[in-house]
Structures are given as C-alpha cells and as structure tokens.
Amino acid sequence: MSRRQFHIILYCILGIITLILTFLVILSFDAANETANWSFFNFDFTSKDNIISAYGGLLSGILSFITIMFVVLDLVYQRRQATFQEEEKIKERKTELKSALGVVQIYVERLYEANIKQATTAFEYSAKELEDSTEMNRMSFHPNTYPSLILKLDNTLVYRGFLQFKPGKDWEKLYANLYSVADFYNKSTEEMMQKHKIHLDKKYSHSIRISVILDELIDSVSELRNETIASYGGDNPLLLTDTAFQILNDFKEATVAITEARNQQIEDGVPTDEISNSISDFRENIVGPLFDGIMSIYRQDNLLSPQLNNLLSKTQIFLRQSEKLIKDSKDYASHIEYYTKEYLSAESIYQEKLNEINLALSNIIKP
C-alpha cells in the first residue's frame, strides 16, 4: 500500500467517524429535549422507556460500527507499516546503487583527467625525442590506478545500478564500454611503461656502444695528429698548409670545446640531468666535418693514406650507428605521438566514451 492510498483510506475512515459522532451528538441533544427544562446531568426519562431503548440500541450499533472502523484502521495501518518497511528497503537499495554509481563516476572522471595529463607529458616527450633523438629523454608516467579500481568494483552491483537508473537510452552499451575501456587502459598503460623501459634500455646500450666507437675515433685522430706534427719536426708553419692536419686539428679543437663546455656546466653546479649528453653534437660538429674533410681529400687525390682510410672507416661506423640510433628514437617518438592521439587525447574515441559515461552518471547522482 502506497503512502497516498493510506492517507486516502485514513481520511475517509476519520471522516466517517466524525460524521457518526456528529450524528450521535445531534441525536443525544434530541433525546435530551424530551425532558422539559433539562440541564446537564439532570434528565427525567420517567415513562420514556421506548426512547431510552431506541437510543440505547442505536448507540450500541453506532459504537459497534465505530469499533469496526477502528479495527479496519488498525489493519490498514499494519498494511501501511509493512509497505513502509518495504519502501525503506527499496530506498536503501536505491541509495546503495546510487552510491556505487557515484564511485564509478568519480573513477571515470579521474581516469579521463589522468589520461589528459599523460597525453600532455607524452606529447612533450615526443617533441623532445624528435628534436634531439640521441639525448636520453625520459617520459614520466602519472599515477593512474583508476582502471584497476573500476575493474575491482562489484560488477553485479554496478550493473544493478545501471539497470535501476538507466543512465541514457543505450545504458547497456555504456555499461559494456565502462569495462572494456577500463580493461584497455589497465593493460595498455602497463604495456606503454614496459615499452618505454625497453626503449630506454636499448637506447642506453646503443649509446654506450657509439660512445666507445667515438672514443676510439678520438684516440685515432689524436694519434695521427701527433704523428703528423712529428713528421714535420714539431711546431712547423708548414703544418698549416697540410689539409689533412687542418682537418685533424679542427676535430681536436671542436672536441675540446664541447668537452670543456660540459665540464664547465658541472663546475657551475648545473644538475647532471640538465647537462646534454647528446651524441648529435659530436655527429654534427665533429665527426660529420671529419668525414666530409677526408672525402674531400679523396675526391682531390683519388687516394687516401692507410691512416686516413682507417679514420674514414671509423667515421662511417660512427655515422651509421648514430643514424640508426636517431631513426629508432624518431620511430619510437612517432609511435608515442600516434598512441597519444588515438588513446589519450581529448579527441580519442576511448576518451569520448569515458566522457559520455561520466556525463550520463553525473546526471543521475547530481542533487
């Protein structure tokens, strides 16, 4: 029995009882008028047995009817109490389901925001990796436990919440999207972190190998430069006319300049992670010019000395390996950029699904 039905029955019974009592009062006054000049508690019903009998019989019937009305009212009240308890249980269940959807809405909203933050970080990392592909750029990952938190929720309780409140016309699709998207981000985030670690480890190992090649090249250049100086008998002005020596000397001076600049940064207290360890500086400003210089000698003389030929071979190895490092880094940066656009940015289909779920649930739980 609903609250409205209970109130209708209650008011009807009370109305009937009120009418009966009013009729009883009128009847009592009418019976009292059978005594002339009557006053309260001073009635003379001598020789009026028929009136008393009729009044008593009528009063008995009326009181019996009123008693029945009170019994009916009690039954109606008990029925209402049972219904009220059931309504309270339903209300509690609705509150529980609404609270569950409220938790889901919070997690979905936080997941959306975390993805946007990660997208910003990923785009910045991708830009740095493309700008200087030989630098050990690192991408930070924002804490994002919301996919796993969504998956750990009681899916039966969540489904009952969707079934009860039906957030949207295609609420079943929203429910399915909730778990498919959460599962995707739960797996893809971990996969993205693992791939980034693999990329960094691979890039670090490759950079170390290239550094060893560069050290060997620097030693070979220094050795040949010293031999050239010795062949001229020391500091001889004729050295300045030796094209090969000029190339070797430029290599040495550029190497010293880069090394001293980095050492100065260390002495100035610049944080280590802010000091460039890029191989690109050596590739563009040292090894590249060395390769071009040796090739110019070859094009001019159509012949290279064994020492220059050895240097040419080492420069080619360095350039090939550094080019491979650059290509691998740019490929990875392009992958990160693509992944971010497709899955983390606001324009992502997955993000749009999260936003749709968030809006639908917000309309339910808002005051």
Kindly state the tokens that stand for 357. 């779920």
Over 60: is that where the pLDDT of 288 sits? yes
pLDDT over 70 percentage in the chain = 87
Query: Which CB contacts under 8 angstroms, 24+ apart, belong to 158-165?
Result: 158/100, 158/101, 158/104, 160/97, 161/97, 161/98, 161/100, 161/101, 161/104, 162/101, 164/94, 164/97, 165/97, 165/98, 165/101, 165/364
Rounded to whole angstroms, how far apart are CA atoms 48 and 268? 127
Kindly state the tokens that stand for 175. 């429910």
What tens digit of pLDDT does each residue of 142-200 get?
A: 888 999 999 999 999 999 999 999 988 899 999 999 999 999 999 999 999 999 999 99
Which residues, in sequence order, are bridge partners of residue 42?
39
Buried b (16+ CB within 10 A) or exposed e, 114-138: bbbebbebbbebbeebbebbbbebe
Over 80: is that where the pLDDT of 235 sits? no
What tens digit of pLDDT does each residue of 192-225 get?
A: 999 999 999 999 999 999 999 999 999 999 999 9
pLDDT (0 to 100) of residue 239: 82
> C-alpha distances in angstroms, 221 versus 245, 250, 299?
10, 10, 20
- Report pTM: 0.74
Chain-centroid distance of CA 333 in Å reads: 22
Kindly state the tokens that stand for 176. 């399915």
Cα dihedral across residues 328, 330, 334, 337: positive or negative: positive
pLDDT (0 to 100) of residue 27: 65
Over 80: is that where the pLDDT of 36 sits? no
- Judged by average pLDDT, the poorest of 125-134, 253-262, 338-347 is 253-262
Over 90: is that where the pLDDT of 337 sits? yes
Rounded to whole angstroms, how far apart are CA atoms 318 and 311? 11
